[in-house]
Structure 1
Amino acid sequence: MPDRLPPLTALRAFDSAARHMSFAKAAEELHVTPAALSFQIKSLEQHLGAPLFLRLNRAVALTEAGKTLAPGASDGFQALTAAWRATKRLQDHTALTVTAGPAMTAKWLAPRLYDFARAHPDIELRLAASLRMVDLERDAVDVAIRFGYGADDGLYSVPVRKEWMTPVMTPELAQKYPTPESLKQAPLIFDDSIAFLSPPCDWPTWFRAVGIDHSPSRGAHFSNADHAVDAAATGAGVALGRRPMIIKDLLEGRLVAPFKVAIETRARFRFVCLPGAETRPQIAAFRDWFLAEIEKTAHISDQFEIIPVEDIPQA
């Protein structure tokens, strides 16, 4: 005889009580009375034919049966909640939640959001700046802008232009350090957020690209790329700036890139969403806008000799 599942409300009551180890807290979470919650759990125990909780004086504990059921009940309700949330999102053609790293959000996305909002007034865009690798099936996120070497298996993924970096500084510092050789005496700024890249895209690599044997490590170190670029814009030093983080400052004159040699990594930003979701109107609109905005500044790359790091001799 096939197993017949107990009522969903009883399982929900058990899941909440097992997570809180408290009937009172579970009742509060589910907005029912403690008596009603206790009734649901008793009905579940009757359905099973065995107790799920040990009722102690001022607490409860799971029985062996309860410990067996709890993980599956928790996973089941999480999966059901995620599926329901994703299904509801399919019916919403106005809200769009996008996640990107803090640096990409601050230096590239945020300054351009007015243009997107003006072009798409019917879309309510929400940005979540985070380095956490979200689960697009479980988390309430529609689009992720990711950076790295990832294959994005099982997802719709559009890679954008290759990432390159070059020294940037204020116009005043550019007069003080007019040659690559002079940078050996300059205060250098380090972006530690790209330390994971392999081969490295760092100061020693850039110096080797211009034929200088110099491996600096001392200077101001920042864990976020936008902080490194902002420090350079104040005149604090010379940063090895990444293309999307420096474009706006270059165009507006806060920073200059006097040495027309850039080093390029295979790592890229990618536009990522669930397969099939790319056809939803608000996601398609954001993708098309995102790719078009990148192309608007593509001509900046033509000013540089861009050398792949794989072609640069390693130390």
Structure 2
Amino acid sequence: MEYRLPPLPAVRAFEAAARHGGFQAAGEELHVSAGAVAHQVKQLESWLGVTLFQRMARGVILTPAGRQYAERLRPLLNGLMEASEAVRRHGDDRVVTVTSVPSLVTRWLLPRLGRLRERHPEIDMRVLASIHPVNFLHEGVDVAIRLGTGPYPGLKADLLMEEWFSAVCSPAFKKAAPDLQEPVDLLRFPLLHDELEPRIPHELNWKQWLRHFGVNYTGSMRPSFSHTYLTLEAAANHQGVAIASEPFIAEDLRSERLVRLFPQRVLGPYRFHLLRPAEAEAKPAVRAFCDWIMAEAASDPSSPG
């Protein structure tokens, strides 16, 4: 039997646009532009011979035909997703796909993967660096490490690490600034800033960190960097002082590429959690990875234990 199917990328774009109520949010989910989503929807409308969205001055709304099509598509796409995921999970039991924010992947996870290989040579890792909310089924992800407060409905969640923030710089920078003895002295030195991520609105910044020590910071929020690992690279290259949480600086402190300026630390508002669907641990490799990474975190100073 020959199936006469619409273009599947266009179907996926339409379903996302229908669910989100617009092309912009659908594009963010699919990691394409709003214009690309609009083009795919137009292609699907041409194939079907019907209008699915009414274009308005300030957005789009589903037509009756579009609403009916979206309602009938969702259970079909869910069924396809579940069938594909079931096959994927049993297709290669050795592969574990884990995702986390780029700075944690670069600064904390990657330096430890050698120990994972020694302990579990049977595991093949697939590591993704991303900050967007995880769709485990869509993205084929087994485990996610995410920063937040919880709860995480429908997921198994374990507290992995807290975020204790320290002020750090290169050894050469510290040596060249002998009068940098306490937090208030930082006002006379260049401070390096992370750009705030909209999805993490209350992340600790210099102004909040200094306020814990009675210091009022009114200076510029520049220079700034899009990821913490870039801020820390600037600090390691003698450009100024950065604040970062323990998971991001642990390896550099051990190697003395970075040093703490003060013993004081500030607890951030978020924590790193280990997230996975309950069914993911039916795969022995996922279960072994989760046990290993929890043990790794417990051995760090940033561990809640």
With structure 1 as the length reference, what TM-score do the two structures score?
0.72
Q: C-alpha distance in 1, partners of 2:66/2:201?
A: 45
Q: CA deviation at 1:19?
A: 3.8
Shift of 1:172: 1.9
Tell whether 2:129 aligns with 1:144: no
Which protein shows a greater Rg?
Answer: 1
Q: Closer, same or farther in 2 for the Cα pair 1:173/1:90, shift >3 Å?
A: same
2:171 maps to which residue? 171
> What is the one-letter code of the residue matched to 2:87?
K
Shift of 1:184: 0.8
Residue 7 of structure 2 is matched in structure 1 by 16
Maintained 8 Å contact 2:162/2:304: no
- Counterparts in 2 of 1:252 and 1:62: CA distance versus 1, 3 Å: same
2:205 maps to 1:206: no
Residues 182 and 140 of structure 1: CA distance in aligned 2, closer, same or farther (over 3 Å): same
1:128 alignment partner in structure 2: 128
Q: TM-score by structure 2 length?
A: 0.74
Aligned counterpart in structure 2 of residue 284 of structure 1, from 270, 287, 296: 287
Amino acid at match of 2:235: A
Partners of 1:301 and 1:272 lie apart in 2 by 17
The Cα of 1:240 is off from its aligned counterpart by: 0.8
After superposition, the Cα gap between the structure-2 partners of 1:82 and 1:18, relative to the gap in structure 1 and judged at 3 Å, is: closer
What's the offset of the Cα at 1:89?
Answer: 3.3
Report the aligned-residue RMSD: 2.9
Where structure 2 has 5 or more consecutive residues not aligned to the other structure, the ranges are 12-45, 52-63
Contact 2:192–2:241 (CA<8 Å) still a contact in 1? Answer: yes
Taking the aligned partners of 2:128 and 2:8, their CA distance within structure 1 comes to 32
CA distance in 1, matches of 2:303, 2:214: 23
**Corresponding pairs, count:** 255
Q: 1-side partners of 2:236 and 2:184: how far apart?
A: 21
Q: Distance in 2 between matches of 1:63 and 1:234?
A: 59
Match of 1:49 in 2: none
Q: Is the 8 A contact 2:297 2:303 kept in 1?
A: no
Q: CA deviation at 1:15?
A: 3.2
Other-structure match for 2:115: 115
| Equivalent residue letter for 1:187 | P
Percent identity over paired residues: 27
Q: Could you tell me which runs of 5 or more consecutive residues in structure 1 were left unpaired when the two chains were aligned.
A: 1-6, 21-58, 303-315
Q: How does 1:244-263 map to 2 (within 5 A)?
A: 244-263=247-266
More displaced 10-residue stretch of structure 1: 235-244 or 287-296: 287-296
Partners of 2:151 and 2:166 in 1: CA distance = 26
Q: Cα deviations across residues 191-217 of structure 1 (Å, max 9, x unaligned)?
A: 124676565522122222223233333
Q: Secondary structure at the match of 2:192?
A: strand
Compared with structure 1, are the counterparts of its residues 216 and 149 closer, same or farther at alpha carbon in structure 2 (3 Å cutoff)?
Answer: farther
